[in-house]
Chain A
């Protein structure tokens, strides 16, 4: 029974991890840019949800629209204004650039919001569901379900919409896409915006579960790294599988090794995977 409970906890955590990582994976796959800003984007989304709840009384589940919209605008602007200028440069250039931007954003958040940990305390908590000795905290369950819905929406957008098809085309072959009349730079900016939007949405959902602080951004970034490597880069299904796998592994790791080593377990796993199977559990695939 204990193992079943831990499996359940891991799956609930994993859905959120997938939502954190899917935007990061999209940006990495399409732009070949590692977005070090991603963790800070998640935190910024959490803060937007927090202030929307405290000042406007908007429930974090609904402030996804706010945080997602704000982060989309920010992401679009960052890509269109800055990263697009160096997007073809060697890996190191874009990596160092997003690192610099992250220092800027994270330090600004630290100054604006302080390093204090905050949490959204709902006036009407959801409570928990108890089924046959299994305890299911409802806020986690709903947040996880919403995260899966959000990820699924992204999948539908990529599959069905014109913009989504253009993104997939640019991922496969930017030059061919350009010849077909796709404005590649604009698609890059849109993709980066969507990546940030997913981070913001995930941040809103996480604000109900994890304490919010600018210091948490590196944890989220680390999770995104591991999920991408676990699931293989560049597919939403991969991010989903990677997220769930990481959630379950961390939950069991917390039981057997100790909860304080959650991220370490994930990182050790990442290094082992990179050494032996860099294409991830699912193998390399595109956004088909």
Chain B
């Protein structure tokens, strides 16, 4: 079973990569959004899923990446360099922030990470000279056809989504993942047996930021216009958590499954209940907590475990 999964994943990615062949721009937009959500959920999974730290900093990394990318592009720097710059910026910010706030636990960490995004939002709104303030920032328009743009940004987003998936896979198999899981179960004990908890937490936090910054920059180039309330929105921090929990937090594929289910539901809700969509998202969250506490993959795994043999299951 475990050998089949990588093959299935590769085939699934290949199929998704064929999406532009259908020639449907609506589907392509959904595909790009799906890839973006997958990046956010997979990235959050490193710090929130593996290490169990309730981070609400995703919006901060995303907005920071979006503004870094937009400002660099506005200065005439090539798009791909601007995107890379956004990744670096998010990584540096996360490492510094992590060193400052990762000693906090539980609710205190959650609040600190939540408030950081709010402060960045205020800075972006006030610093009119650099960011255009509340009026937002326009990006240079690309001189290629609309269809070519749609394809370009779809493939860019898909590329970092695949990178995010690879990152999760490597982390979960490697030393970092082992250390982060130990920290989730008992941080004091991990530190006692010689795990440098601060180092691994900061590493995990940095990894959870780097691709989110890139996704923010690609998003900015994709929509041509960003404003602080849009890219620093608290929902950008909450949705990835919901997606990861929906699929199964702390698993490699869970966040992707969650992102897929989430975007389908979100699209249906947006289409049918425009003025009530936040409430429907709220209902979805409440239902998720009560009926799917271990996510979809948790459910599948439990079914299988019950069918085969009693298996030790990690409490997600």
Contacts and interface: CB of A to CB of B under 8 A. Distances in A.
Contact of A222 (B118, B245, B286): B118
B107 A107 contact: no
Contacts of A28: 107
A270 B101 CA distance: 12
A85 B245 CA distance: 18
Interface stretch (A41-49, A139-147, A271-279): A271-279
Contacts of A264: 118-119, 122-123, 126
B119 to A, nearest CB: 5
A86 B234 CA distance: 23
Contacts of A34: 107, 110-111
A144 B122 CA distance: 29
B119 A271 contact: yes
A32 interface: yes
B256 to A, nearest CB: 19
Interface stretch (B21-29, B71-79, B82-90, B277-285): B277-285
A268 B123 CA distance: 11
B139 interface: no
Nearest to B53: A92
Contacts of B108: 229, 274, 278
A271 B101 CA distance: 8
Interface residues of B, number: 39
A23 to B, nearest CB: 16
A274 B109 CA distance: 9
Interface string B269-302: 0000001111101111110111001000000000
Interface string B38-60: 00000000001000101000000
Contacts, number: 116
B118 A278 contact: no
Given A91-B106, A93-B293, A103-B281, A271 B115 contact: yes
Given A100-B283, A100-B284, A104-B283, A111 B54 contact: no
Interface residues of A, number: 41
B238 interface: yes
A90 interface: yes
A190 B100 CA distance: 37
B167 interface: no
A108 interface: yes
B112 interface: yes
A101 B282 CA distance: 6
A232 to B, nearest CB: 12
Contact of A100 (B54, B104, B115, B289): B289
B241 A92 contact: yes
A100 B290 contact: no
Contacts of B285: 96-97, 99-100, 103
Given A100-B289, A103-B282, 17 more contacts: A32-B107, A34-B107, A90-B54, A91-B106, A91-B110, A95-B107, A96-B242, A100-B282, A100-B286, A100-B288, A104-B286, A110-B278, A111-B279, A222-B118, A229-B111, A261-B122, A271-B116
Interface of A: 28, 32, 34, 82, 85-86, 89-93, 95-97, 99-108, 110-111, 218, 222, 225, 229, 260-261, 263-264, 267-268, 270-271, 274-275, 278
